[in-house]
Each structure stands twice: as C-alpha cells, then as structure tokens.
Structure 1
Amino acid sequence: MKNFYSTIKTLAKTVVTTGALLLGYAQAQTTLSPGGIAFTSYDSSSTSVDVFSFVLLAPISSGTQISFTDRGYQGSNAWQAAGSTESAITWTSGTALPAGTEVYISALSASVYNPATTTSIPNGTVALTDGTSSNGLVLSSVGDQIIAFQGGNGSVTGANVTCIAGINYFYTAGSTTAAWNSDAVGSPNASLMPPGLTGGTNAFYTGPVSGVTVARSGKFNCTGVPTSTVANIRTAVMNNANWTLSTAAGSQYSGCTFLASNPVITASPANRTICAGGTTTFTVTASGATSYQWYQNSGSGFIALTNTAPYSGVTTNTLTITGATSAMNGYQYRAVAIGAGSATSNAATLTVVSISTTGSKTDVSCNGGSNGQATVVPSGGVAPYTYSWAPFGGTAATATGLSAGTYTVTVTDNFGCQATRTFTINEPASAVSGTTVVTNVACNGASNGAINLTPAGGTAPYTFNWGGGITTEDRTGLSAGTYTVTITDANGCT
C-alpha cells in the first residue's frame, strides 16, 4: 500500500511537472498575425537545397514555431497534395528575437543575420513536418511560392492554421501582386492567394526577371530601410520594385538593417543674439542621426532652408548665418534629425541688434573759428552707449569746440554692436570785411567829405559802429580826419 501510494504520488508529481512544462511552452509561443513576417530573399537555383529568408515584424519569444510550405492553394480550402516536391517545414526559435531580425532557412537549418557584424548565428531547429522531401522545401527552378503559417501541427491542411505571409515568383499570364497565379491553379508550381492573406499587404508576387522569364532567385535591395516602424518595413518589402531578381543563384540574406530607433535630440539649439551684419551659428546634437534639415519660421510657419545666402550648412547639425539683417530679428530656427525615423529639436530665436541714430549740429559762427558742435542720439541696441569722435571731439554724445570740417562718431552699445554717423561742420566762406569809396573835403576847413562803405564776407545782415553813436553804413558831411568803423555780421563776427 505504501509503495502504491508512493507510485501514485510520483505519478501525480510527474503529471504536475509535465503540465507546468506544457504551460511554460504555451506561454513561450508567440502567435503572429498576418503580416507578422515578410520574406526578404529566396534562391531556387539549387537542385538539392533551396533557401529563403524573412524578417520578423514582431518580437517573438524563445520556442516560437513558424511553418513554411510550398504547397499551392487551390481554392475552397483545397491545397496541392503533399509529397516529395510539395512539403512543409517548421522552424522553432532557439532564443527570443526582436522585430527587425532577419532569419535565414537553408534546407533543415536556420540562422539569424547580424548586419552590424555581417555574420550569421545558428538559431533553433528546423524539422520536416509535411511531405517527404529530405531537404525541406523544394522550390522548383520554374517557379513556386512560399507560404508561412502557424498551427496545423506543421501542416497547412491541419487544424487552426493561420497564414501569416506569402511570396510567389511563378509567372503565368495574369499574375499580379494582388491575384498571384489566378489562371494556373492546376499546376504544382502555382497558387491562388492563400486564405487570410492580402496581395501587397502581407503577400506579394515578385514578377519575372523580364517578359515571361521566371526569377530563380531574388532579394529585397534594402530600399526604404532602416526605418523606425515595422509598417514602413512591410511597405518597403512588399514593393516588388525594391527587389533584385535574377535567373542565377542568389545570396543567402538581403543583408539589410531593417529596424532602428528614431534619432534622439540630446541638445537643442540655443537662442542667439548678434549685431546686424554679423555671423552666428545654431547647433543641434542628436544620437542615431545620419543627416539633418534646418527650418526657419519668419512668422508664417516653419519652412525648409536651402544653402543660399545668408544660410549654409542647412543639412548638417550646425546652421551658419552670415550677414544677418535687421529684418531677421525674431526669426526662429529648428532642426530635424533624420535616421531610421526623425526627431525635431526645440526652436531657437535669433535676435538681431540694430542701432539707428539721429543727429544735430551747429556750424562755426565766424570764418576760422572753432565754436562748432555736433550731437548724436542713438536708438535700438542695448544701453548704455559709448561714443568715439574722429578726428577729434571727445567721448560724449555731443562734441564741442569744432572747427570747420568732417567728423564721424562711432556709437557702441552694451552688446558691442556699432553704428556710425558723419557730420559736416561749415563756416562762413570768408571773414567780415569792407571796402570804401572816399570823397575828400573840397576846400580847406570845409566839411563836405563822404565815405561810401560796402561790407563783405561773414553772414549778412550787418551792423555798423562809427563811434559816437553813429551806426549808418555810409557817412557824409565829413571834415578832414581819420574815421574808423566796426562791421558786425549776423553771427556777431567783426
């Protein structure tokens, strides 16, 4: 009785353990939907071993099973009969694998490809699960198809089968990506579109090499990858224009890098302040980027820049602006980092400092004098301002004690931006002077002399001072003697 109990206990323990193992396997198996993989190459040129590869479009766990058959679908749930040339194989993954992994099947072996090292590593096992071929699938040199599925215990005619991908390279009249071999279903090399698959979405026809010549090998040529989404991979691979076809033997893998992360912006450009006419740069830092595109917003939204003045480096991580104008004040700039996908930086603002000036002056009053002055009034820029007059005039906003000539003032704001203004100080063309016409006294002791005075130079009008309160320009009724007159112009010059 004790031994019987022990036996029952051991058996129960075995059942529990086995159940746990089965449960663990069920949890490990990844169920894929149609489009969960996409074929990336095939080679049917060998008479003994045919090969193909596919890319995972979803991550799978270790122990996941995917089956492949070259049995053609005949419609109404009927398939070509299994046998020595129509069979199925099942790959069981040896490790968990991420989306974007390319898997290569050669006869009854499997490996995964690493595009970074261009090497392949064996992965999992491949077993014949339908038909009698000792080398797995038999992809006829005159054309065939490969259909990926799960369920059915490795047979496409088994229970609970889900077709997940398909590729067809057999040419018949009317073959299209959507319809496959619509008029040749009686041939062992032909197939209708398998149930659950859609042409151009998760199954496709490669087309012939040319005319009616069947492509014995073909591979995806990497157009459109790497990319950041499996949807983009699927779109690229399902486009037969992105395939290289041949009548000769092909390569084992497509060799593409399929899936990569979007670039990550690690440092956005910083705001910049420069003087009008100056040069500055905006820089973005990103990981996973292979190129860049800079955009400008002048107030109506961001537009892509081209390498035309004042911009250069618009497709690098550093944008250079040479000769910024005051009209560009307030413009915003941002970069799009491009890699497998894209990432956009924050926007940075350009501040262009522009100083403008007004001015006034006072000319020299008298010819040869030095009482001229000039005043500059700046606006814009960043106060406080400094001033420098040349050839002389000091360091204030107003220069005094100026003689006739040209003077230039340089105004510098607190940011270092500068503006210049030029003043011309004038003076009367000549000094005040006068000419006289004298009429002498006619007789000794008489008083009929006269002086006719004509002023010149300086700035009219003039005033006259003969002394004794006499302020007329001319004199009459003069007796013999010496007379002196002071001529004063409008500026007080004498």
Structure 2
Amino acid sequence: MRRVTTSDSKHFALPGQQCEHKRNLFSLFPKSVFFLLYFLVVGLVAFAQTTTTFPSASSCTSKDLELVGATLTGGNTCNSCTPGTILTRTLTLAINNKTGSSRTAFAFWGTLVITHADNSVETSPIKGCSGPIPPTGPLPSSYSKDFNTITYTCGDALKIKDLFLAWTDASPKSTCATINSATINPKCGTLPEIQINAGVNGSAVAGNLTCFGASNGTINLTPFGGTAPYTFSWSASNGGSIPSGQSTSEDLTGLTKGTYTCVISDSKSCTFSKVVTLTGPSAALSLGASSKTDVTCFGGTNGTVTAGTVSNAVGTVHYSWKNASNVEVATTANKSGLPAGAYTLTVT
C-alpha cells in the first residue's frame, strides 16, 4: 500500500500582512460408514410423473437409504483430461442400503451446478431413478446401470444441490415408473449438496496485490476430487516468484504479480494443474494537486479543502484530513466549514 500525503498550509493574517502558501506532496505509500455401500449409475432419466411435489422434509423420517457419493465415470482410471476439453461422462451415485431388504427404486431431484474455470456458473435441474437396490449381504458386489450422461468442460467443478431423495415405499413398492414424490414419505430425505467427483481438481481464491511493486498477493487453494490426501508442487512465470519454503504448500502468501501453476496430485498419483494469475496496480498510487478556499474573515470557519484526483488506486479510496494538531477532521475527499490552519491529506 502506498500512501500519498499532501499538505496545504495557509497562514491567515490581519489585512495588510503578507500571506504565505505552502504545499508539499509526499509518496504513500469419509467418516466411517458401517453399512453396505452400493454403486448405482444414475443419469438424467425421465420419470413417469410429469409434475413434482415434495412432502415436508420433517415427514421424511426413514433412514433406510443414504446417498454418500457422486462420481463421473467413463474415462480412464484418473478420469484425466486436457483442460478446456468438452467431456461426456456417466453420473454414478454411491448409496448405503442400511437394511436387509431390497428397495425397488431410488430416485433423486436437485439442481446441477457447474462452475467453470473462469468462475462463471451454470445451473440446471437434474433428476434420476434406478433400482432395485439389493439388500445387505456378506460379500455383496457393486453394480451399476447406465442412464443418461452429463456433459461438461475439463476443469469444471460440479455438484448437485438442494437434493430431495426418495426410495421404495412399503406399499405398493413403487418402481421408477410409478414412484410419486408427493406421497413417498416417510421413505425420503433431503441433502443440501453433494460434490461430484470428476477426478482431481481444485478451486483457488486469488488475493491480488493492493499496491504497486508490493509482495502481498495470496492464493488460497482448495483441492477436491480424486482420492485424498493430496500433494502440491508450485511454479511461477510472467514475473511471479514462489517464496522460499512454499513450493509444496497448499496455499501461498507474500506473492508478486504473475502467473502461478500448481500441480495437484492425489494418493493414486492422479494429477491436475491449476493456474492462477495475480494482478496489481500498473503504477504507484498518486494524488493530483489539492485545492483550498481561504477563510474570508478573521476567526471565521468557512474554509474548504478539496482533494486532487487519485490515480492507480485499487478498490475503494479512503481519505483522511488532519489538522495541525494531528486530529482527523474529515474522511471524505472534500471538507468545508474549516477554520484557518494547516491540513494534511492521507489517501490510501
């Protein structure tokens, strides 16, 4: 942060005396699950019902089934890809059947949220149904069933939010063709959101530089997807520089302007490269010539001060006018109603 200080001093005297004007400008500077886990491939499957009505969440008291994971399948082992490539993958849901009985159907409704690499977001409704969900067994095998697919861009982050879940009622043991969300309670549940694992990925929050020539940039990286734990390897270009001891850290601090690339690796040696660009002012903060209006009468309080034009500022400009006693008299660009005296302006 650069600080610009300008001092406008005016000594007011009785008529006939010489007045002196002086102006100075300075630089400113998974938790454990003890139930059988099944894998169910679900896509954008059409339901028999044409309208969707959900019962109160408080009426969904059954805990027979639990949605515990979502993965995109159909790629290689790592589901690796080239950033920017358009992909089509199958949505696979992981479901816990916590009972010893078969459920003829499992359905979900929600909103698919796709966050692109440029942080733009797309949302669309999504729903799916499949079955049966087999009962718990001593050596069960996972099973999958192909439905429709999700199309996205490599590097996107995907999740489903505001989920309503429903499964087979005791009678008439609905299937996907007959399940009715309005009358399925208590065989239902809700889930705020679930991340879709499309392979190793990461989101980053860039803290851009606030002052010209400073080294106060930050990057807050959050890895997801793939299989934890993760390791990190940072490199920099275009004027960026990795501070000593931070090349394998998850987050970075004390950064200059430039481009920073992190290779995120998971426990299965699957990798993803996350690129973050930090920006900052192209020149130092500067303050143009400030102006004033003198007090017209001895002992009067009709003096004014006006800040000059601020250039190369980042974000909101803050003003602080102080009198000769170092007491702040204003926090705005302009101030009126002042007595004669010297006033200093600090702009940040």
TM-score surpassing 0.5? no
Relative to the length of structure 1, the TM-score reads: 0.25
Q: Which has the higher contact order (CA 8 A, sep 6+)?
A: 2
The structure richer in helix per residue is 1
Determine which structure has more spread, i.e. the larger CA radius of gyration. 1
